[in-house]
Chain A
Amino acid sequence: MDKLILYMQYPFVRYALIVGTLIALCSSLLGVTLVLKRFSFIGDGLSHVAFGAIAIASIFSIEGKMVLVLPITIISAILLLRTGQNTRVKGDAAIAMISVGALAFGYLLMNLFGTSANLTGDVCSTLFGSTSILTLTQSEVWICVVLSILVVVLFILFYNKLFAVTFDENFAKAIGTNVNGYNLLIATVIAIIIVLSMNLVGSLLISALIIFPALSAMRLFGSFKKVTVFSAFISVVCALTGIFISILAGTPVGSTIVATQVAAFAVCCLVGSVMGGIRT
């Protein structure tokens, strides 16, 4: 406990906790929608695109990588979600293509043009987010706070429409809802969340942040609202627990958070099957 209080006095620990909480909150919000639309892996696909974009940004040593990474990721997200229906390349295949392709190109570029002395270390921390959350600058924290608030506000404002579009796209379209517009919105928000989350867990582990809270909550609850609220709650709890454990035990932040979420999922499964679910 003393150790914890000592650590809390360092600004970087406080930053990590703020950013961690916000990212966990945002990433869980759209999880339910993505899982149910069978887009669980979009997190992986997009984060690899973001990895590629980071590689390009660091080659040209662009200050503030966000400027490049965010637009590229948003465009990819729109393209990916658009492939959802009626196209030759189906959703899962499209995600697989983009994700591996971007990963390969990113690593290739970093290798060919990289200036860093510690290439493997750079790549590793981008992929697994090993330390980046503990090295956040104040401006990065602010960007994260602003984007998180944006995501949460958008989500609350469009909650009812998002539900309608997720549950029954054809019905929504038939009665005059602008389905394409909302799909675009979902894609954009997802992209923002992915870019934010890369700080926390790195690009390989992002999917966990998006889908585990939703899957855990779906084990226990039978209404969309309750599932959404509970997944946000469990996501924040797991992120904070994970960060504390990693600080105290000196383990990597990203994988500790994901491990906590796996444990939470196991607990939810167990509770769900024992109680038959708290159904309403």
Chain B
Amino acid sequence: MALITVKNLAIGYDSQAILAGLSFEVNPGDYLCIIGENGSGKSTLMKTLLGLSSPLDGEIVPGDGLKKNEIGYLPQQTFIQRDFPVSVREIVISGCQSKMGFHPFYSSKQRKEAEKNMEKMGITDLADRCYRELSGGQQQRVLLARALCAAEKVLLLDEPVSGLDPDVTAEMYELIKSLNDEGLAIIMISHDIFAAMKYSDHILHIGDELFYGTKENYLIYAKEDLSKWIN
């Protein structure tokens, strides 16, 4: 059964739709890339999926017993975070906040979870460093480790490589792919059509024309566009 089924969704701000008629589904272990031009509504779609803004029409049906606190999210960085005095460990463990329930403090199990995810992201040695002193790639790893603390089944990523240099970008993509290989479903917004082709297995193209399907079908569908881009 699909983790998330989207039926005939319309999204936008202040009852003004920027996209309508979206239908797609995300199954366990899928790697879905959402591509489209700036302003086509990619981020709004992600916010709607997360429940940060409400859909104008249609519905988003969680399946397979998916609960809200089993979804991880890697947002784009906000300006507040740039001068925030906070250590890496504090950020990572805050990913466990939805599992605390009414407990005021983190349990030792949650602390271990945070340590495990820091290790996975290769940032254990940065645990006590201040976030604002880290490089862009390191900061992204920290936020990814936090998202992992929250993600049991699905991970949503909003342009995870924006502002990173090519080497770090490639590392980041490999890291995300390795998470997908472990069975986590990935939904990623990306500008980068080549990375989408390389790593994902499903594509959702939004804009004037909508496309949802497997990567192979997308290649056939968008042959002309793709060859234009490549040349």
B15 interface residue, CB < 8 Å from A? no
Closest chain B residue to A156, Cβ basis: B104
The number of A-B residue pairs with CB atoms under 8 Å apart is: 105
Q: Which one of A215-223, A239-247, A253-261 is at the interface?
A: A215-223
Q: Using an 8 Å CB-CB cutoff, how does the interface string of A28-45 with B read, 1 for contact, 0 for none? A: 000010001110000000
Q: Using an 8 Å CB-CB cutoff, how does the interface string of B7-46 with A read, 1 for contact, 0 for none? A: 0000000000000000000000000000000000000000
Complex A-B: 5 CB contacts under 8 Å: A163-B90, A171-B75, A171-B147, A177-B97, A280-B129
Residue contact A168 to B81, C-beta cutoff 8 Å? yes
Interface residues of A (CB under 8 A from B): 32, 36-38, 156-161, 163-164, 166-168, 170-177, 217-218, 221-227, 279-280
Contact residues in B for A36 (Cβ distance below 8 Å): 80, 83-84
Q: Using an 8 Å CB-CB cutoff, how does the interface string of B35-65 with A read, 1 for contact, 0 for none? A: 0000000000001001110000000000000
In the assembled complex, how far is the CB of residue A273 from the closest CB belonging to chain B, in whole angstroms? 15
Contact residues in B for A158 (Cβ distance below 8 Å): 104
Residue contact A175 to B90, C-beta cutoff 8 Å? no
- The majority secondary structure among interface residues of chain A is helix
Interface residues on B, range: 35 or more
Complex CA–CA separation, A97 to B23 (angstroms): 46
Residue contact B51 to A174, C-beta cutoff 8 Å? yes
Residue contact A176 to B68, C-beta cutoff 8 Å? yes
Contact residues in B for A173 (Cβ distance below 8 Å): 50-52
Contact residues in A for B130 (Cβ distance below 8 Å): 222-223, 279-280
Residue contact B132 to A222, C-beta cutoff 8 Å? yes
Complex CA–CA separation, A168 to B91 (angstroms): 10
Interface residues of B (CB under 8 A from A): 47, 50-52, 67-69, 71-73, 75, 78, 80-81, 83-87, 90-91, 94-95, 97-98, 100, 104-106, 128-133, 146-147, 150, 156
Residue contact B80 to A170, C-beta cutoff 8 Å? no
Most chain B beta-carbon neighbours within 10 Å: one of A32, A158, A174, A223: A174
Complex CA–CA separation, A166 to B91 (angstroms): 11
Complex CA–CA separation, A221 to B132 (angstroms): 12
In the assembled complex, how far is the CB of residue A160 from the closest CB belonging to chain B, in whole angstroms? 7
Complex CA–CA separation, A223 to B90 (angstroms): 8
Complex CA–CA separation, A83 to B164 (angstroms): 34
Contact residues in A for B83 (Cβ distance below 8 Å): 36, 218
Residue contact A37 to B95, C-beta cutoff 8 Å? no
Complex CA–CA separation, A74 to B181 (angstroms): 50
In the assembled complex, how far is the CB of residue B154 from the closest CB belonging to chain A, in whole angstroms? 11
Besides the contacts A37-B80, A174-B156, A223-B86, what 9 more A-B pairs have beta carbons closer than 8 Å?
Answer: A32-B85, A36-B83, A164-B94, A170-B47, A177-B98, A218-B85, A225-B87, A279-B129, A279-B133
Select which of A172, A175, A217, A280 is within 8 A of B71 by beta carbon.
Answer: A175
Residue contact B90 to A224, C-beta cutoff 8 Å? yes
Residue contact A160 to B104, C-beta cutoff 8 Å? yes
With contacts A156-B104, A157-B104, A164-B97 known, is A175 near B128, CB below 8 A?
A: no
Complex CA–CA separation, A158 to B150 (angstroms): 19
Most chain B beta-carbon neighbours within 10 Å: one of A221, A223, A227: A223
Contact residues in A for B128 (Cβ distance below 8 Å): 223, 280
5 residue pairs, one from A and one from B, having the closest CB atoms? A222-B130, A223-B87, A176-B68, A174-B50, A174-B73
Residue contact B87 to A160, C-beta cutoff 8 Å? no
Complex CA–CA separation, A174 to B132 (angstroms): 23
Contact residues in A for B146 (Cβ distance below 8 Å): 171
In the assembled complex, how far is the CB of residue B126 from the closest CB belonging to chain A, in whole angstroms? 10
Residue contact B85 to A167, C-beta cutoff 8 Å? no
Residue contact B73 to A171, C-beta cutoff 8 Å? yes
Most chain B beta-carbon neighbours within 10 Å: one of A164, A221, A227, A280: A164
In the assembled complex, how far is the CB of residue A42 from the closest CB belonging to chain B, in whole angstroms? 15
Closest chain B residue to A32, Cβ basis: B85
Contact residues in A for B84 (Cβ distance below 8 Å): 36, 167, 224
Contact residues in B for A174 (Cβ distance below 8 Å): 50-52, 71, 73, 75, 156
With contacts A161-B97, A175-B68 known, is A224 near B85, CB below 8 A?
A: yes
Complex CA–CA separation, A181 to B130 (angstroms): 29
Complex CA–CA separation, A221 to B147 (angstroms): 25
With contacts A157-B104, A175-B69, A280-B128 known, is A222 near B133, CB below 8 A?
A: yes
In the assembled complex, how far is the CB of residue A234 from the closest CB belonging to chain B, in whole angstroms? 14
